[in-house]
Structure 1
Amino acid sequence: MIVSSLGRPIDKQALTGHDVLVIGGGNAALCAALSARERGASVLLLESAPREVRGGNSSHTRNLRCMHRAPTDVLTDAYLEEEFFEDVWRVTGGNTNEALARYVIRASETCTDWMRGYGVRFQPSLGGTLHLGRTNAFFLGGGKALVNTYYKAAERLGVTIIYQAEAERLVFDGTRFDHALVTLGDEQVRVSAKAVVVASGGFESNLEWLEEAWGPVSRNFLIRGTRFNQGKMLRSLLDNGAKSIGDPTQGHAVAIDARAPKYDGGIVTRVDCVSLGIVVNREGRRFYDEGEDFWPKRYAIWGRLIARQPDQIGYSITDAKAEGRFMPSVFPPERADSLDELAVKLDLPVEALRRTVDEFNAAVQPGHFDHSVLDDCRTQGVTPEKTHWAQRIDTPPFYGYPLRTGITFTYLGAEVDDRARMYMDNGELADNVFLAGEIMAGNILGQGYVAGFGMTIGTVFGRTAGTQAGGYAKSHATD
């Protein structure tokens, strides 16, 4: 017997006769399901997680980045296409498909209104050290509220949703999707549809695949999001001849609290005080400019930086001057009245940390500290230099956060066009296969990250994939 995550039997008839099959249960998948219903298509959505932890990585998010031409009720000033694209270009080092990036940017202008149409609510723009009030719209209640709202809308519109439905393999007939093999309970079943949207995430929770890409250092990585993103659908697409895009070692990797759990620590484990102090490795030495740029444009490089340090660990060190200037982590920092005491608490070499701080303090130049702009507080004569927000670390109490690499999502994926259609290795487009979210984000994010852009890509391509799949299914109604 096939049983749902609620303990009720599933009627096998619920698995047949649908126009569009959506594989995945996060933001991109839900946007696809809703958009396919807008086209009048019948939709089956398969979520591999139980209902109580549905939503994938999207349940841990807070906002999406969106273009806008004037102030809105949730965004200040304006954020136009060229500035948005320049932000993407800078963080990716130019490793992006410009046409697809600009497509997402332009389409993002309509996202908040579309989302509101399904009941999503936003909170007023944020101030403070996140520097996001002008660029990012924050969901009221966070990502969990967002996905719950979408699930309610999908149920209301008649989308069939089955939880703990693990899609194991996709079966193609040439360039055409034929059916998926899906594990439900103790049975494996065939699920067919006229079109499929694959929005099942990357492979960041597959520890063996991570080690294959990164080597043994990955054993010290923590996974910020869901444990269910095992990459099975990505592997199956590539096995079926999909054209791959992206580097398996690239992804959204940030510095998170080393005390976070292996999986599902979420956004609350991120440590946001890096730009307000210094970061040292296990040897007590600094290794990168903590004030290179605004935090939302640089926080995503710190996961990779930590991964290159001995034992893949670092430590953020601040003093009393940083208090109240950043969003705190869920874990309290280590606190001490002297640097020597803090070094002992963090198991750092006392002499090395004191020498590092003394050298840094001596290099700090006079300036006017202003964390809301790229200020003139910098160092001179120390390596690496700190180019903004440099203040002497000399006012007790002193604070320290241990840092590990936190993998959010991976960038290896399959290549698509601006209609979310998947390319095959031979350059042809698959007939009825559409992709959205992490599984295609590597087309736009070759490296680096800018805050909220993953949700933008998922929302735009989810809507596009659902619209295109729904339209394809309706135009092939007699097939």
Structure 2
Amino acid sequence: MANDFDFDIVVVGCGVAGTAAALSAAEQARKSGSSARIAILERADYDHRGGNSRWTAAYLRMENLTQVAENFVEDMVRFSDGYSDRDYIEVLAREAGETLQWVHEKGVDFDYLPTMFLTSSKPRMLPVGGGRAVIDALSRRAEALGVQIIYETTAWQLLLDDEGAIEGLNVRVKGGHSLRLGTRAVILAAGGFEGNPEMMSQYIGRDAHKIPTIAEGGHYNKGEAIRMAMAIGAKVSGQWDSFHAEPVDPRSNREEATVMTYPYAILVDKYGKRFVDEGESTVDEQYEAVARKIYFELPGRIAYMISDQKMFDIPNYERALQTEQPPIEADTLEELAQKIDVPVEALVETVRAYNAAIQPGEFHWDRKDGKQAVNITPPKSNWAIPIDKAPYVAYPVVCSIVFSYGGLSTDVNGRVLSADDEVIPGLYAAGEITGLYYGKYPGATSVLRGLVFGRRAGLDVISYLKDHLPLSQTS
């Protein structure tokens, strides 16, 4: 069957992993004295390109531009209860600094910018301008080397030759027409399946369609790339029934409308009862567990943060309260309960019991202070301050999905494996489409792994093509 267009490499997805893959492949081809016809396919239009990468602040678990955070490998393995691939994580740790310096050379600056975490146990560097700055810089460099970015195009089927190697893929373009692209290698970097209600229901469970994505970009991650790889026998990994979660204000339409001030307040369910130790640890180490508890355990899958005017005295509280929606306020707890439709007597008693349980001690907003509330269930380990300064305030809080955990299994060069742990010739994957995480998400590692393994996939694919069907030599 004739192809509509031919490329040496097709990258599916224009986020940090996809742009890193395309650029590194183009650079490696030029370095080896060859030329490669490379295309990036992007489902969105130019103004919305990049999936989750476009919207993320892109936290990076780095001490500095060259050194990962302390216990990087051990934490990632431990958080997964030993299920994550240690070899993969060790490569990530070893090449993180080199990869970020490579990104820096393309025009992206990095700094220790303010984050939404007022308390933190690990350092977090950020690219100035967030994920969008990374995408813009890498894609601009890739286009300068001849990479084509084709927008409003969705890949839906991988094509194999008689020996099981990639020979093309079918895509749909705007308007619904389908085209066949001939290619000798495909790098899948199209994100997870959080934008697909059917897959969310299948793997996450009942009412999963109600979980909001953390940002608009998640709606573009519909899982076709995962499924079309599975259709040709790709192995999967990662925890398919779980996901990276954040607590957000459901009233907001902003991206990442997080509510991270709850450690200085209390959280109650729809019946006015506390359900979690709000001060168990620094907020960066516990917010995901709180968000998941709201979704998986609470009636109605909603909670309310209850506080008072002292919350607004906490330095930089605005950083931790990313919603643009105003608090629900009332002069009395009884009135506040009525406004949020929580049983009045239950909320009043919850706050009374909490206030009575608070122990003496000095409050420190910026670190674990040991100021506890005891002899209540659950207790509160830090930041226990009374709720007694009206007007009282409430914020609704629900669980949002940042990205899904389940995805494709690859080796450390990004080559997709079959269910028999054999490499599928010509097929690569990088970024959130790959299954790495289990259990607790080790914060600030997702963008990092997208960049590292996107770059590695781009480098390896040139070696694959040169070994099988030599590329054209540049003049």
TM-score (norm 1): 0.88
Task: Decide which moves more: 208-217 or 55-64.
Answer: 208-217
Cα deviation, 1:343-363, whole Å, max 9, x if unaligned, reads 222222221111111111112
Name the CA shift for 1:280/1:148 in 2 (closer, same or farther; >3 Å).
same
Q: Who is 1:465 aligned against?
A: 457
CA displacement at 1:37 relative to structure 2: 1.1
CA shift in 2, pair 1:435/1:219, >3 Å: closer
Amino acid at match of 1:239: A
Q: For residue 182 of structure 1, what is the aligned residue in structure 2?
A: 171
Gaps of 5+ in 1: 1-11
Check 1:131–1:84 CA distance in 2 against 1; reply closer, same or farther (3 A cut): farther
2:267–2:275 contact (8 Å) kept in structure 1: yes
Instruction: Report SS of the residue matched to 1:46.
Output: strand
Instruction: Structure 2: state its 5+ residue gaps.
Output: 30-35
- Out of 197, 212, 223, the position equivalent to 1:207 is 197
Secondary structure of the corresponding residue to residue 158 of structure 2: strand
Cα offset for 1:42?
A: 3.2
Determine the C-alpha separation between the residues in 1 that align with 2:443 and 2:51: 18
> CA offsets, 1:128-180, max 9 Å, x none?
84446962212222223332222222222221100011101112345422211
Instruction: Note the alpha carbon deviations across 1:233-266, whole angstroms, 9 max, x for none.
Output: 10111111111112322111221111134xxx42
| Aligned residue number for residue 124 of structure 2 | 136
Structure-1 residue corresponding to 2:32: none
CA distance in 1, matches of 2:68, 2:173: 45
Q: What's the counterpart of residue 31 of structure 1? A: 20
Separation (CA, whole Å) in 2 of partners of 1:475 and 1:321: 66
Partner Cα distance (2:74, 2:443) in 1: 14
Residues 105 and 389 (structure 1 numbering): CA distance in 2 closer, same or farther, change over 3 Å?
farther
1:171–1:178 Cα contact (<8 Å) kept: yes
Matched, 1:456 2:448: yes
Residue of 187, 197, 200 corresponding to 2:187: 197
Paired residues of 1:194 and 1:476 also in contact (CA < 8 A): no
Moved more, 429-438 or 332-341: 332-341
- The aligned runs of 1:344-423 (5 Å cut-off) are 344-423=338-417
| Partners of 2:205 and 2:241 within 8 A in 1 | no
Relative to structure 1, the CA distance from residue 303 to residue 116 in structure 2 (aligned partners, 3 Å threshold; closer, same or farther) is same
Equivalent residue pairs, number: 453
* 2:95 equivalent among 104, 107, 129: 107
State the Cα deviation string for residues 409-462 of structure 1 (Å, max 9, x = none): 10111111111111101221112111101111x22x112223321111111111
1:224 aligns with 2:217: no
Match of residue 334 from structure 2:
340
Preserved CA contact (<8 Å) 2:327 2:394: yes
SS at match of 1:192: strand
Structure 1 partner of 2:41: 46
For the residue of structure 2 that corresponds to 1:402, the secondary structure is strand
Q: Distance in 1 between matches of 2:115 and 2:206?
A: 40
* Secondary structure, aligned partner of 1:167: strand
- Shifted more, 150-159 versus 379-388: the winner is 150-159
1:285-304 aligned at under 5 Å gives the runs 285-304=273-292
Matches within 5 A, 1:16-27: 16=6, 18-27=7-16
Contact 1:195 1:433 in 2 (8 A): yes
Q: 1:146 to 1:397 in 2, by over 3 A?
A: farther
1:40-63 Cα shifts (integer Å, max 9, x gaps): 143110001111110100111112
C-alpha distance in structure 2 between counterparts of 1:473 and 1:130, whole Å: 48
Kindly report which structure 2 residues correspond to 1:257-272, keeping only aligned pairs within 5 A, or say none. Answer: 257-261=249-253, 265-267=254-256, 269-272=257-260
Cα distance change on mapping 1:260 and 1:175 into 2, 3 Å: farther
In the TM superposition, what is the alpha-carbon distance from 1:470 to its structure 2 partner? 2.4
Q: 2:59 aligns with which of 64, 68, 78?
A: 64
Q: Could you tell me which of 273, 293, 313 is aligned with 2:302?
A: 313
Q: Distance in 1 between matches of 2:86 and 2:330?
A: 48
TM, length-normalised to structure 2: 0.89
- Distance in 1, Cα, partners of 2:412 & 2:98: 16
